[in-house]
């Protein structure tokens, strides 16, 4: 663990993701997966709760804002959006509402390079929180309700920022509710949590390497 890094895991490190994954392998490129908008993917519709989960392994750091996930028609639509904080390895987790178009966690704890971590972005009521391996790392009280958008969902990067340098992504899943602590811990084992609120799941069963 690096100084100031993520908190020590309270239990054995979870199993790593299995099979293939997505790699954003071209440094200052813009490599990402684009998922078309649909009504069921409109996170935060009517100020609703939702949970975004995925596995992340950093490879390097170019000092820029590196986007890792973003749904929106423009940079300003950020329900939700996540970046690697420039020059550090925490996560800038954002959400958009009428009272604050750029609300959320400024920077979660730093992650190590070369280690898979299960990330959870949880919008629950008036709170946005970021979890690592099933444990809450950071949270922020939101300024008010949030708004959804009808833009595409980008994963691994977005059209407006560089992608993470040589980062790996796997096990993306989105649930249209606030997962419970126990459910978050299930997603942090690498399992896809199947329930009625699951609207998207990617485990990259086939090789997706530097998807544009
Ligand atoms: Ca996989």
Ligand 1 centroid to Cα of residue 191, in Å, is: 10
Let me know: does 57 contact 154? Beta carbons within 8 Å. no
Strands (E), the chain: 22-24, 33-35, 50-57, 66-71, 81-84, 91-95, 103-105, 117-124, 127-132, 135-141, 153-155, 162-163, 167-175, 198-202, 208-209
Ligand 1 centroid to Cα of residue 169, in Å, is: 8
Given a cut of 70, whether residue 136 has pLDDT beyond it is yes
Match domain 31-202 to its CATH number in 2.60.40.10, 3.30.420.130, 3.30.360.10, 2.60.120.200. Answer: 2.60.120.200
Ligand 1 centroid to Cα of residue 26, in Å, is: 20
Ligand 1 centroid to Cα of residue 27, in Å, is: 22
What is the pLDDT at residue 29? 60
Ligand 1 centroid to Cα of residue 72, in Å, is: 25
Q: Domain ranges for the chain, please list them.
A: 31-202
Indicate the average pLDDT of the chain.
Answer: 89
Which pLDDT tens digit goes with each residue over 54-87? 999 998 888 899 999 999 999 999 999 999 999 8
Given a cut of 80, whether residue 156 has pLDDT beyond it is yes
Given a cut of 70, whether residue 147 has pLDDT beyond it is yes
Ligand 1 centroid to Cα of residue 123, in Å, is: 25
pLDDT bracket for residue 212 (50, 70, 90)? very low
What is the pLDDT at residue 164? 85
Ligand 1 centroid to Cα of residue 24, in Å, is: 15
- pTM of the full predicted structure? 0.91
User: How many residues comprise the chain?
Assistant: 212
Q: List CB-based neighbours of ion ligand 1 within 5 Å.
A: 17, 19, 21, 170, 203-204
What average pLDDT does range 150-170 have in this prediction?
A: 92
Please state, in angstroms and rounded to a whole number, the distance separating the CA atoms of residues 190 and 55: 8
Tokens 């996170």, located at residue: 43
What is the pLDDT at residue 28? 57
């Amino acid at each position: 663990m690096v100084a100031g890094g993520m908190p020590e895991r309270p239990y054995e490190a979870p199993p790593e993701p299995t099979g293939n994954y997505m790699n954003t392998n071209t440094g200052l490129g813009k490599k990402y997966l684009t998922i078309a908008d649909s009504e069921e993917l409109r996170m935060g519709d009517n100020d609703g709760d939702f949970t975004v989960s995925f596995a992340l392994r950093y490879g390097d750091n170019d000092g820029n804002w590196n986007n890792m996930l973003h749904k929106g028609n423009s940079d300003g639509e950020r329900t939700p959006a996540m970046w690697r904080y420039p020059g550090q390895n925490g996560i800038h987790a954002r959400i958009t509402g009428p009272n604050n178009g750029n609300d959320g966690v400024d920077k979660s704890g730093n992650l190590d390079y070369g280690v898979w971590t299960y990330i959870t972005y949880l919008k629950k009521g008036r709170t946005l929180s970021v979890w690592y391996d099933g444990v809450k790392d950071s949270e922020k009280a939101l300024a008010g309700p949030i708004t959804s958008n009808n833009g595409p969902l980008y994963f691994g990067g977005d059209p407006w920022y560089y992608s993470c340098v040589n980062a790996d992504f796997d096990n993306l899943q989105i649930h249209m509710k606030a997962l419970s602590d126990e459910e978050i811990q299930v997603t942090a084992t690498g399992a896809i949590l199947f329930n009625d609120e699951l609207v998207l799941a990617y485990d990259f069963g086939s090789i997706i390497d530097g998807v544009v």
